[in-house]
Structure 1
Amino acid sequence: MKRLKKTFIIGMIMVCAVVSMIFMGSLGSKRTENAAIPETPSTGVTDPPVPEKTGEPVFPPSQDSDSALTDGEEEPPLMATPHFAMDEYRCDCPDYCDGWPCAMELELLEKIEALRCYFGRPVIITSGVRCEARNEEVGGVSWSFHKRGCAADLYCPGIGVGDLAQIAKELGMNVLPYYGSGYLHVEIIP
């Protein structure tokens, strides 16, 4: 039974990884494959950053004045993975930083996406990357992986912290469950 479960989890990880690669690859290649799509979108929306190689940290692109939206237009969220927007990982400090004191590690983003795919339901990120001031404010340790883009705090409505922790471990993340608070700290070793 354990072997079957492990085989299933590995299969789910592979499926999520392939889907993520196809999704991310298709975003960057749409313009070259289809001449009908203009080089510069009329809405000014740019493709999400696609790392050149696996393991490369991901920063959101800087906004320039040429990408301003017209009145009434709403910019779609910049996606880190198929189910998570980059803003879900941004530092939530009250203007101590620009929201991105460091990049998020692609490996962590992929593993959290695989966790979400495994359960087939939303996973809520409560804390992603943190600046030094925000980390101190929330009582984080000085060596926090949040300050390196290698950690996130999260929960999954309807899934117990213990079950979430078990699958996160099987996906290769280090975990620190906070049963009393109902969330899980996940991290990768950079």
Structure 2
Amino acid sequence: MKYKKTALWIFLAAGSAGLVFIFGAVPGKSAVPPQAEIVQPAPEQTGQKPELPQQEPESAEPESGPAAPAPEMASAHFEMAEYQCDCAGLCDGWPARMNPVLLERIEALREYYGLPVVITSGVRCESRNTEVGGVAWSFHKRGDAADLYCPGVAVGDLAQTAKDLGMNVLPYYASGYIHVEV
């Protein structure tokens, strides 16, 4: 029995030493030694008011350089780039000009709902139109059509509103967007 108690004490001592080695501290003791309190010297009594540190004047220009030019807007809520051909460089992006009447009516659609309207396809070059399976007489090639959707608005409701605003509409219910043209 005497050897069992001795073995137990050796085991406990070795375990404690292992904890100190692993954690760098004895259980129940703080591993961080107490720091001496640092006392700041009192400022000299000169009778003068203390001065605030000088701040560097703010630069008139942002650090990242001059601001980018504002994008060309098609209307209040749409940039012209949203209507640009997305053929990845097969054309200059503008094989035709967008019809201003179409732009006004799409803006009216956006105003009606007060929600963003996402243009998925605007003007198309011949190559892009063929790539997406567009018909040979596509209004997209003339700048007279756009495909769009409005998150949170059902395709049928969006189609009816577009029709009420004077656009010809082809709803694509399964794909979740409408084709509008003038």
TM bucket (normalised to shorter chain) is 0.5 to 0.7
Alpha-carbon distance between aligned partners in 2 of 1:130 and 1:114, rounded to the nearest angstrom: 23
How high is the TM-score relative to the length of structure 1?
0.61
How big is each residue's C-alpha offset from its partner over 1:19-69, in whole Å with a ceiling of 9 and x where there is no partner? xxxxxxxxxxxxxxxxxxxxxxxxxxxxxxxxxxxxxxxxxxxxxxxxxxx
* Residue 101 of structure 1, aligned match among 89, 95, 101: 95
Structure 1 residue 77: Cα displacement: 1.1
* Residue 183 of structure 1, aligned match among 170, 177, 182: 177
1:130 is aligned to 2:124: yes
1:155 is aligned to 2:149: yes
Structure 1 SS opposite 2:119:
strand
Instruction: Specify the alignment match of 2:73 in structure 1.
Output: 79
Unaligned runs of 5+ in 1: 1-69
How big is each residue's C-alpha offset from its partner over 1:99-129, in whole Å with a ceiling of 9 and x where there is no partner? 0000000000000000000001100000000
Alpha-carbon distance between aligned partners in 2 of 1:132 and 1:173, rounded to the nearest angstrom: 23
Give runs of aligned pairs for residues 6-21 of structure 1, distance below 5 A. none
Instruction: Specify the alignment match of 1:145 in structure 2.
Output: 139
Alpha-carbon distance between aligned partners in 1 of 2:179 and 2:126, rounded to the nearest angstrom: 18
Alpha-carbon distance between aligned partners in 2 of 1:139 and 1:96, rounded to the nearest angstrom: 16
Structure 1 SS opposite 2:74:
strand
Instruction: Specify the alignment match of 2:168 in structure 1.
Output: 174
Alpha-carbon distance between aligned partners in 2 of 1:122 and 1:84, rounded to the nearest angstrom: 9
How high is the TM-score relative to the length of structure 2?
0.64
> Which of structures 1 and 2 has the larger relative contact order (alpha carbons within 8 angstroms, sep 6+)?
1
Higher helix share: 1
Question: Which of the pair has more CA radius of gyration?
Answer: 2
Alpha-carbon distance between aligned partners in 1 of 2:73 and 2:81, rounded to the nearest angstrom: 8
Structure 2 SS opposite 1:185:
strand
Q: How many pairs are equivalent?
A: 119
Structure 1 residue 177: Cα displacement: 0.4
Alpha-carbon distance between aligned partners in 2 of 1:151 and 1:166, rounded to the nearest angstrom: 16
Structure 1 SS opposite 2:129:
helix
Alpha-carbon distance between aligned partners in 1 of 2:65 and 2:132, rounded to the nearest angstrom: 38
Between the aligned residues of both structures, percent identity stands at 69
RMSD: 1.1
